[in-house]
Amino acid sequence: MNSLRDIDLIDDLRAQPVETPWLEFKSSLSDEAKIGKLISALSNAARLEGKEQAFLVWGVEDGTHKVIGTSFDPFSKHIGNQVFELWLRQRLSPAPALQFRPVDHPDGKIILLEIPAPTMAPTSFESVPYIRIGSATPKLSDDPGRYQALIEKMRPYTWELGIAASYLTADDVLRLIDYPSYFSLTRQQLPTNRDHILEKLAGDRLIQKDVGGRWNILNLGAILFATNLRDFGSSIERKGVRFVRYDGVDRTATVTHRHDGQRGYASGFEGLLQYINGLLPQNEHIGQALREEHPLFPRLSIRELVANALIHQDMTITGAGPQIELFEDRIEITNPGSPLVDTQRMIDLPPRSRNEALASLMRRMGMCEEQGSGLDKVFREVEVFQLPAPLLKSNATSMQVVMYGPRTFAEMSGEERVRACYFHAVLQFMAGERMKNTTLCQRFGIDTRNAAQASAVLKKAMEADLIKVADEDHPRAGYHPWWA
């Protein structure tokens, strides 16, 4: 931990007019049980006050807030044969990541204890949660109102609001963050005043104020607008987008292109898409007079699928980021984390994202469709181009979308035909229509004289319980997806 930052932090805490529910000054308190209860009380009070940390400071005089030094030494203190910090951890639950730190303040020795606020359950000492009210430390159960308020304020950890880099000067922030891209993409005029730039970045939760007049860059700011992801350490760098192109149909083929993205998602998004589009295989289309070449995959669909991979990944999975693999006949887009919605329901149910702030800002910048309208447009575009339906695959650690190049009905496997049939039924249902033999023929490009081919696919989809007759009294009136 930066010692200069700790001194600035102590001075900012001393500048508080009075002690707060999340801040306590002590001279030489050493009673282990009192310290345990105080940690529980301060932690819970911090969450109630909307703070992420509470602080217990030894060596500052209560009232005057003068540095007076302390003889308390948590590092040499033992309870029986047990180190004091370990003794505390065993009696606090959920066990917080306590940080006792010695601070060599110019005016004397200080011990600083930083206490995280609870996120899942109230912080308890020996199974009893406490709260701070004035100078008292009563049991939380004695104050039902505060107990309920605390439960309502606790929330799961939000990765976007974590700190990617701390205690930075304003110049450091403007060097590490591609702020011109932020203002351009959000269609705001670039301020000429540095303080106004920082104020705007803070307003979108890309940065936040730290102590001593310095700044923190939040994970949201780093992952979207990093000038170079490497500047934020391996945990951020490894979330960069990786692109690989193979000269063949599987991973044993020669790798012809490899690109590891080093810019933030927003800053590098258009450049990444241009790079991918420049490498997409071309498909020759014969028009009325001229032969024209078109990309093997619809570009708008690629854009939406890449954006979805960025938005819906599980950021808490370390050492992994989105990956795009281009083969001669398909493109595979994979992101860390299992999806929050069943793959069969992704184009009709509202999407659920782990990264709401990231998703909201990317939609605002026009990088993806409005919530709930993106993936269904991908499937509709696939139908227009009469491509095989994309394959949606998930497991415990990842989500993958596979988009295939053009194949005729005869070239599709039975599984691909049934999958296309199911998603066609979904799209028809969402449009207020029913899938019929004639609409499925159109979907596959089947001549209506060969409608029996579509009928065979409908039969297999029924047997797989993916579709059902829309009206039992009129079986030929059309079909709905199984869940309708």
pLDDT, one tens digit per residue, over 254-310 is 999 999 999 999 999 999 999 999 998 876 543 444 445 667 888 899 999 999 999
Average pLDDT estimate for 412-439: 96
Residue 53 predicted with pLDDT over 90 = yes
- Segment of 16-20, 52-56, 133-137, 149-153 carrying the highest mean pLDDT: 52-56
Q: How far is the C-alpha of 264 from the C-alpha of 203, rounded, in Å?
A: 19
Residue 228, pLDDT score:
97
Residue 353 predicted with pLDDT over 50 = yes
Q: How confident is the model at residue 2 (pLDDT cuts 50, 70, 90)?
A: confident
Quote the pTM value.
0.85
**How far is CA 128 from each of CA 29, 117, 379, rounded to the nearest angstrom?**
21, 16, 54
Percentage with pLDDT > 90 across the chain:
76
Q: Which tokens in the block code for residue 211?
A: 């102590």
Strand partners, 215: 168, 209
Residue 452, pLDDT score:
95
Average pLDDT estimate for 325-339: 95
Strand partners, 393: 400
Residue 386, pLDDT score:
87
Q: How far is the C-alpha of 130 from the C-alpha of 36, rounded, in Å?
A: 10
Q: How far is the C-alpha of 64 from the C-alpha of 418, rounded, in Å?
A: 76
Residue 382, pLDDT score:
92
Residue 370, pLDDT score:
61
CA 34 to chain centre: 39
Are the C-beta atoms of residues 451 and 441 closer than 8 Å to each other?
Answer: yes
Residue 472, pLDDT score:
87
Residue 421 predicted with pLDDT over 80 = yes
DSSP-H helix ranges across 226-355: 234-237, 265-279, 299-312
Higher pLDDT, 476 or 19: 476
Average pLDDT estimate for 156-166: 88
Which residue shows structure tokens 């909201």?
360
Residue 457 predicted with pLDDT over 80 = yes
**How far is CA 470 from each of CA 71, 108, 349, 455, 475, rounded to the nearest angstrom?**
79, 80, 20, 16, 7
Average pLDDT estimate for 146-163: 86
Residue 119, pLDDT score:
86
**How far is CA 238 from each of CA 75, 157, 206, 401, rounded to the nearest angstrom?**
36, 20, 19, 21
Residue 287, pLDDT score:
40
Residue 281, pLDDT score:
82
Residue 1, pLDDT score:
53
Are the C-beta atoms of residues 194 and 170 closer than 8 Å to each other?
Answer: yes
Q: How confident is the model at residue 131 (pLDDT cuts 50, 70, 90)?
A: very high
Lowest mean pLDDT among 52-66, 164-178, 270-284, 438-452: 270-284
Q: Which tokens in the block code for residue 321?
A: 């980021």
Tens digit of pLDDT for each residue in 78-111?
998 899 999 999 999 998 888 899 999 999 999 9
Residue 158, pLDDT score:
84
Residue 304, pLDDT score:
93
Residue 473 predicted with pLDDT over 90 = no
Q: What secondary structure does DSSP assign to 175-240, as a single string? A: HHB-HHHHHHHTT-PPPSSHHHHHHHHHHTTSEEE-GGG-EEEEHHHHHHHBS-GGGG-HHHHTTS
Residue 240 predicted with pLDDT over 50 = yes
- Mean of pLDDT over the chain: 91
Q: How far is the C-alpha of 48 from the C-alpha of 147, rounded, in Å?
A: 9
